Amino acid sequence: MRTQVAIIGAGPSGLLLGALLHKAGIANVIVEQRSAEYVLGRIRAGVLEQGTVGLLDQVGVSTRLHREGLVHGGVELCFGGARHRIDLHALTGGKTVTVYGQTEVTRDLMEARAATGLATIYEAEGASLHDFDGSHPQVRFNKDGVTQTLDCEFIAGCDGYHGVSRQSVPAGALQTFERIYPFGWLGVLSETPPVSHELIYSNHERGFALCSMRSMTRSRHYVQCALDDKVERWSDDTFWDELRRRLDPVAAEALVTGPSIEKSIAPLRSFVAEPLRFGRLFLAGDAAHIVPPTGAKGLNLAAADVGYLARALAEHYAEKSDAGIDHYSQRALRRIWRAERFSWWLTSLMHKFPETGAFGQRMQAAELDYLVHSTAAATAMAENYVGLPMEW
């Protein structure tokens, strides 16, 4: 089997890269270790920056997104028993975010890919990457018990944090940076209407809470929990009671509860690997970096990475220029570190940290007070939340 670009992983970054490359006339094959149903079953991100929507527009897979997505012009910060709105739209000169689940983005990209007839090899086991330092890279994997070889010109490692691509880079060629937060998020998905029409981020003495949604009938709520907590310890009623306690009285009253459809605990981590290019291998998305979900940046960063990478590869093939490829790592990392900073900052501002004590809580209260009463501070938050521009 032969192609121009072998893409490892059919998550949002791999599928979007495949669509962008196809649009540029570049052949690509995706190698995914799981089944399509498994990939679609993962409940993850839900807030899309305008730049991400723009990339989906570019590849023609945004019809349903524009029909069903919820456009938000603000977010609410809840602390001291009251809510304060950050007017994203007014503070950023008209920018918004769109609430549309990662599952739906993935489904749209998968369906569009199937319609073009591009190859996606699902349930490809034991993928290994070869000769990406030379001029004839290869991906080998097992499919239905048969070892297959995919010859290619470039490999895009879009296989998430636990994938094989980053692990294939020789030790010593990679520098990593990491922060593990001393808590996790317990998330519950339910067929219930949202508490408010925009997201509510709550800083409470019992811990952080987030009220978000996937549609006007489906909600996704989170509460900060201990790192070693177990889902089994949380009945639906315990979860709803805890969430209600962490909201202001009006939001607590408006909270509609119902049976959970999905319940899971996710640890919070900041992680970056540098650089993102090793010869003919590129890393993109969660394979290269992780952000805590507080700033809703993970999926958006993945989209921006592949936006840079697709343009670099298009330049290579169409204009015979390697300038984009040579600058991919530096260009993407600049944006990645800015999003890492914002995600770390919002996480630090909104969560209860066991080690910072009463002083840390007073600092958070002072910063939140400043944030909602200073146009400069609110603008800084708003422009990061809607997404910093992609610089070329």
339 touching ligand FAD, by CB under 6 A: no
Q: Which stretch binds ligand FAD (CB under 6 A): 8-16, 74-82, 145-153, 332-340?
A: 8-16
CB of 133 to ligand FAD, least distance (A): 19
What amino acid is encoded at 109 in this protein?
L
266 touching ligand FAD, by CB under 6 A: yes
194 touching ligand FAD, by CB under 6 A: no
Residue from the set 69, 137, 293, 307 that interacts with ligand FAD by CB under 6 A: 293
* CA separation for the pair 244, 66 (Å, rounded): 32
Nearer to ligand FAD, 62 or 300 (CB): 300
Residues in Cβ contact with 166 at an 8 Å cutoff, skipping those fewer than 6 apart: 157, 174, 273, 283, 287, 288
Question: How many Cα atoms sit within 13 Å of 58 on the Cβ side?
Answer: 21
31 touching ligand FAD, by CB under 6 A: yes
Q: Exposure of 106 by Cβ count < 10 A (0-12 exposed, 13-18 middle, 19+ buried)?
A: buried
Residues 105-134 that bind ligand FAD (CB under 6 A): 127
260 touching ligand FAD, by CB under 6 A: no
Nearer to ligand FAD, 46 or 207 (CB): 46
Residue from the set 297, 316, 335, 351 that interacts with ligand FAD by CB under 6 A: 297
From residue 242, give the alpha-carbon distance in Å to each of 205, 210, 231, 245, 273: 12, 12, 14, 5, 36
**Token match 């501002």: residue?**
349
Nearer to ligand FAD, 90 or 179 (CB): 179
* CA separation for the pair 109, 260 (Å, rounded): 27
Nearer to ligand FAD, 142 or 379 (CB): 142
**Token match 């679609």: residue?**
40
Q: Which stretch binds ligand FAD (CB under 6 A): 158-166, 251-259, 345-353, 383-391?
A: 158-166
Q: Which residues are the active-site residues? A: 72, 201, 293, 297, 385
CB of 164 to ligand FAD, least distance (A): 4
44 touching ligand FAD, by CB under 6 A: yes
* CA separation for the pair 98, 174 (Å, rounded): 35
Of residues 376, 81, 24, the one with CA closest to residue 252: 81
- By CB under 6 A, the count of residues binding ligand FAD is 33
**Token match 């470039």: residue?**
154
184 touching ligand FAD, by CB under 6 A: no
**Token match 């998968």: residue?**
110
Binding residues for ligand FAD, rule: CB under 6 A, are 8-14, 31-34, 39, 44-47, 102, 127, 158-160, 163-164, 266, 285-286, 293, 296-300, 302
